[in-house]
Amino acid sequence: MSENIRRQIEDLRTELHQHNYNYYTLDRPTISDFEFDEKLRRLAELEATHPEFYDATSPTLRVGGGVTKNFPTVEHEYRMFSLDNSYNFDDIDDWYNRVVRGLGTEEVEFVAELKFDGTSISLKYTDGKLTEAVTRGDGFRGDEITANVRTISSVPLKLHGDYPAEFFIRGEIYLTHIAFEKINAARAEEGYEAFMNPRNTASGSLKLQDSAEVRRRGLSAVLYQLIGKELPAESHWELLQKARNWGFHTSDFAKLCKNIDEVRAFIEHWETSRHDLDFDIDGIVIKVNNLRQQQLLGYTSKSPRWAMAYKYKAETAETDLLSVSYQVGRTGTVTPVANLAPVLLAGTVVKRASLHNADIILKLDLHEGDRVYVEKGGEIIPKITGVNTAVRNPDPKPVAYATHCPECGTELIRNEGEAAHFCPNEWHCPPQVVGKMIHFVSRKAMNIANLGSETIEQLYRAGLVKTVADFYHLTKEQLLPLERMAERSALNIINGIDKSREVPFERVLYALGIRHVGETVAKKLAKNFSSIDELKNASVDELIQVEDVGLRIAESVRDFFANEGNAAMVEDLRKQGVQLQRSEQSQEPMSDTLGGKTFLFTGKLSLFTRDEAEALVEQHGGRNISAVSKNLNYLVAGEKAGSKLKKAKEIGTVQILDEQQFLDMIQ
């Protein structure tokens, strides 16, 4: 019996490792996400009941959940050098001439690679298993963060093929634009300030204490340099191909260049094409391809002589700081915003830039009326990078950070170890109260049509609603006196509120606005706890057993229900008939007709809403993605489909359907 269980566990691990390789390295998934999750769930159950078969490389360990208080510092067995940077082709020509002089009459090839804008990592593999992950640090020593790196799906835990017994592979941990935008959207919903840029967010994510939270960040990894004794190749290019075969995600955009002119063409191509990528690059890395030649050229005290980085210049503009204002989120976080004289930057007009927190203002030494330099941090978010002090006004006043909430006057609080200030007046600070209500009625939450932010603000100012439960006590007669409110509009709102009583439990849970509980986590909590009472009574230990729920989320859930005001609001919602328990209807997919296929909907849809369409995909085993890429199988185009349809046609591998063709697939 024991031997049979062991074989089942090993077979599942082998199969799941292969599916991860198919998905993240080959970009050719062979099963649906649902099937993968079911196999992973089965493996987790077997491992839980048979701990004697523990394996540090098991795919189940990717979900994280361990808390690391300290990250030990370890010595790099092979120093992590930095690269010399160049900003023009004269520097590249000088480097090329030095390489030629160093090699004499030998012919030389180069490998040109995109310089991913992330954070460097060194991975150690022993007998094909990931045994250590270390940050760059100072190049001689770094922090050991293996538990967190294990959660990154594109980092293989176990290799296959003819890999060496022991070696190191260097790479970059980064965030795609989509992943970064999702993180900031979730933070906005929870009332937190936005992160500055993908690079800093990726770096900070790797040092989070809760590895489950690292998993939720959606980090990616690209590996680009093998180091070790007796590597099984004679060139860097060949090693990249072997690494890919062993299971590593290497760049799809690297190029073998026969001469320096091809390198120059590669650099020129990506100077403009980089804006089409779903991740940030800040330049190009050029390496001598032949490993023997690399050894001949050697190193300086700081960098290899056989490699050079060409850095693209960030677009910068200069403009006037008009004022600093403060925004209060629905969880009380206060974010300072620089209001700027409009300036054109990277194709868009910039009028505002986030200053993030008091430390940033202090670091910039920002004064009223300053002439400031602005650039797009990480190509996405405008940021102030400096001040032109040469034209600073005489007798300038430093920008003083607000001491009290700009909305309710409550003294702001800044907890030890946190960057942001926040307003603690949760139940009476208007932006917090109104923000919670706007979130509650939003499309992905209770989806109460016709109840917009302006109407909610009017209701709040009139004293008709103080918590989200008060929506269910409203009458048509109370709504009619509101500005621009006709009888039909009032009836539509009342009907929308009434209909929201049918919204399923997982969306109600998301609508409550529990800090750190986004849409995905709400679904997983609802799947594991059948009612609000089960969730309310769950211990922290029980909560962290749920996939994607770490210690911080578990404590946040407990704190929410411990609050008397929240408890009273939940009880009021219960009395009003809101769904606070899971439906008896099965949550399992109807079929696996769309298994392993990805879908995206664009344009005006007439046969169903976008939410209904995406639900159909999931119910039939498919997966919804948010952007047109080579990972997309089907684009369902409605009327007036625009740029996504055009891009799908350019890619050529995306199958384009109309709405009826999509329905035909699942019928």
Instruction: Work out the pLDDT band at 128, boundaries 50, 70, 90.
Output: very high
* Amino acid at site 456: I
Residue 546: predicted pLDDT: 83
Residue 388: predicted pLDDT: 94
Residue 139: predicted pLDDT: 87
Q: What is the pTM of this model?
A: 0.54
Residue 585: predicted pLDDT: 54
Q: What are phi and psi of 78, to 5 degrees?
A: -125, 125
Q: Among 242, 227, 56, which residue's Cα sits nearest to residue 161?
A: 242
Highest mean pLDDT among 246-250, 314-318, 381-385: 246-250
Q: Residue 528: how many CB atoms within 10 A of its CB?
A: 17
Quick one: what percent of the chain has pLDDT higher than 70?
94
Identify which has the larger pLDDT, 513 or 28.
Answer: 513
Identify which has the larger pLDDT, 245 or 348.
Answer: 245
Q: What is the per-residue pLDDT across 571-590, written as a single tens digit (0 to 9) for each?
A: 999 999 999 998 765 455 67
Is residue 404 within 8 Å of residue 389, measured between CB atoms?
Answer: no
Identify which has the larger pLDDT, 596 or 510.
Answer: 510
Q: What is the per-residue pLDDT across 372-395, written as a single tens digit (0 to 9) for each?
A: 999 875 445 688 989 999 999 888
548-556 average pLDDT score: 85
Is residue 22 within 8 Å of residue 30, measured between CB atoms?
Answer: yes
Q: How does DSSP classify residue 246?
A: H
Residue 95: predicted pLDDT: 95
176-200 average pLDDT score: 81
13-37 average pLDDT score: 73
User: Looking at the predicted structure, is the pLDDT value of residue 17 above 60?
Assistant: yes
305-315 average pLDDT score: 88
User: Looking at the predicted structure, is the pLDDT value of residue 265 above 90?
Assistant: yes
Residue 22: predicted pLDDT: 73
Mapped onto helix, strand or coil, the DSSP state of residue 267 is helix
115 belongs to the catalytic site:
yes
Q: How does DSSP classify residue 620?
A: T
Instruction: Work out the pLDDT band at 360, boundaries 50, 70, 90.
Output: very high
Query: Is 344 exposed, middle or buried, given 0-12, 13-18 or 19+ CB atoms closer than 10 A?
Result: exposed
Residue 379: predicted pLDDT: 46
Out of 39, 115, 363, 575, pick the active-site residue. Answer: 115
User: What angle separates helix 260-273 from helix 89-103, to the nearest 10 degrees?
Assistant: 150
Residue 491: predicted pLDDT: 93
In order of start, what are the domains of the chain with their CATH numbers? 2-63 (1.10.287.610), 74-311 (3.30.470.30), 316-391 (2.40.50.140), 430-575 (1.10.150.20), 598-666 (3.40.50.10190)
Quick one: what percent of the chain has pLDDT higher than 90?
50
User: Looking at the predicted structure, is the pLDDT value of residue 436 above 70?
Assistant: yes
Lowest-confidence region among 1-5, 220-224, 434-438 = 1-5
User: Looking at the predicted structure, is the pLDDT value of residue 27 above 80?
Assistant: no
Q: What is the mean pLDDT of the chain?
A: 88
Is residue 41 within 8 Å of residue 47, measured between CB atoms?
Answer: no
User: Looking at the predicted structure, is the pLDDT value of residue 205 above 50?
Assistant: yes
Q: What is the per-residue pLDDT across 63-94, written as a single tens digit (0 to 9) for each?
A: 554 545 568 888 999 999 989 888 889 999 99
Tokens 């795919």: give the residue.
59
Q: What is the per-residue pLDDT across 136-152, written as a single tens digit (0 to 9) for each?
A: 988 888 999 998 999 99
Residue 235: predicted pLDDT: 96
Q: How does DSSP classify residue 279?
A: S
Q: How does DSSP classify residue 235?
A: B
Highest mean pLDDT among 175-184, 532-541, 609-618: 532-541
User: Looking at the predicted structure, is the pLDDT value of residue 248 above 90?
Assistant: yes
Residue 24: predicted pLDDT: 59
